[in-house]
């Protein structure tokens, strides 16, 4: 059955931007614009209430505090106001990151959440804004499975699998066919469901590249990082002949830092045992993200570490598929 009462949660982004002296900038007042545009729609839409996170932001400024504020607003709309579905309006630059993070922060929520936005502001000539917004509303009205999704350019996409691949066209978001083989969690424990409070986490992402030095990695890890996502070559390889670099990773893991690996290849996945170089990284303490995207792996690390789980528990749940992020 479809949603009857929606929460429309506005966070800013291109969809609501208006021209300022410095160019397009986030703006409040989007509810009135939305209601005026809805009056022009021929097809009926579900009832909705409106909330906005203030101040509205350009999604290039998105951070963990914003994600936690979104979760709090979603819970209020559902638990206090009786909404049975959520449409979250968001800028496109970090839309895939937020969709992934919310996929893990809202584990166990028995209702659908759709994120959407636009490449051009609402009201601009030829904009995709109203099509995306009302398309997402109608999808929720027709019925969407519980969990987090992204609606863009007529497509409903899995929130923990999507990436932004284009900045110059309306079909900016896609789900790449990355291999996802992992055991599925039988249930979601209370420690990581959507009612669990979270705290900000010091996370970092670092790509391997020819010439990377152990001192670079050490400096990053010495900054207090709790979780490091390493973007490896191919199926999970790196400079395994650099004994100092491996020693830096082993020392970090020994003091409790969670080390996770994704593939730099858009169609790749991590499988450490294929090459000896990958096996060396695994022996240094890295865990495989399989075919997860950067967005999904980062969001999952945040949700697990932010819940206060131990290193061992984080590694356990990171290796399992909890919402379709690791297995088809």
Where in the sequence numbering do the catalytic residues fall?
Answer: 14
In sign, the C-alpha dihedral spanning 174, 177, 179, 180 is positive
Alpha-carbon distance of 171 to 131, in angstroms, equals 13
Strands 18-20 and 85-89: unpaired
Distances (CA, A) of 261 to 258, 274, 322: 10, 14, 18
Beta-strand runs (E) in the chain: 5-12, 18-20, 23-25, 47-57, 85-89, 112-116, 147-152, 155-158, 162-164, 173-175, 203-207, 227-232, 258-263, 287-288
Which of 178, 225, 180, 234 is CA-nearest to residue 205?
225
Strands 47-57 and 23-25: unpaired
Alpha-carbon distance of 148 to 157, in angstroms, equals 9
Classify residue 256 as left (phi > 0), alpha (psi -120 to 50) or beta.
left
Alpha-carbon distance of 281 to 20, in angstroms, equals 49
The residue whose two tokens read 């000539």 is 125
Contact assessment for residue 62 and residue 102, using Cβ atoms and an 8 Å cutoff = no
């Amino acid at each position: 059955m479809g949603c009857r009462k929606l929460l429309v949660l506005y966070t800013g982004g291109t969809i609501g931007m208006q021209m300022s002296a410095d160019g397009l900038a986030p703006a409040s007042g989007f509810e009135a614009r939305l209601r005026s545009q809805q009056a022009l729609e021929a097809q009926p839409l579900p009832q909705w209430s409106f909330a906005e996170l203030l101040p509205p932001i350009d999604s290039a400024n998105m951070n963990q505090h914003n994600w936690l504020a979104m979760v709090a607003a979603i819970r209020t709309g559902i638990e206090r106001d009786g909404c049975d579905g959520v449409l979250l309006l968001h800028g496109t630059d970090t839309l895939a990151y937020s969709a992934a993070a919310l996929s893990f922060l809202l584990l166990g929520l028995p209702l659908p959440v759709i994120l959407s936005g636009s490449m051009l502001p609402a009201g601009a000539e030829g904009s995709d804004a109203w099509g995306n917004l009302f398309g997402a509303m109608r999808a929720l009205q027709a019925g969407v499975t519980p969990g987090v999704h992204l609606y863009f350019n007529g497509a409903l996409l899995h929130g923990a699998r999507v990436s932004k691949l284009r900045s110059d066209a309306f079909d900016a978001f896609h789900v790449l066919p990355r291999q996802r083989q992992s055991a599925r969690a039988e249930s979601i424990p209370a420690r990581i469901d959507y009612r669990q409070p979270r705290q900000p986490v010091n996370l970092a992402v670092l790509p391997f590249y020819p010439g990377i030095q152990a001192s670079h990695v050490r400096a990053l890890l010495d900054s207090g990082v709790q979780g490091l996502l390493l973007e490896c070559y191919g199926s999970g390889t790196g400079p395994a002949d650099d004994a100092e670099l491996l020693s830096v990773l082993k020392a970090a893991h020994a003091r409790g830092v969670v080390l996770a690996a994704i593939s730099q290849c858009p169609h790749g996945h991590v499988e450490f045992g294929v090459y000896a170089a990958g096996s060396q990284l695994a022996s240094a303490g890295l865990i495989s993200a399989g075919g997860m995207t950067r967005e999904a792996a980062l969001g999952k690390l945040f949700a697990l570490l932010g819940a206060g789980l131990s290193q061992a528990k984080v590694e356990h749940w990171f290796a399992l598929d909890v919402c379709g992020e690791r297995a088809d």
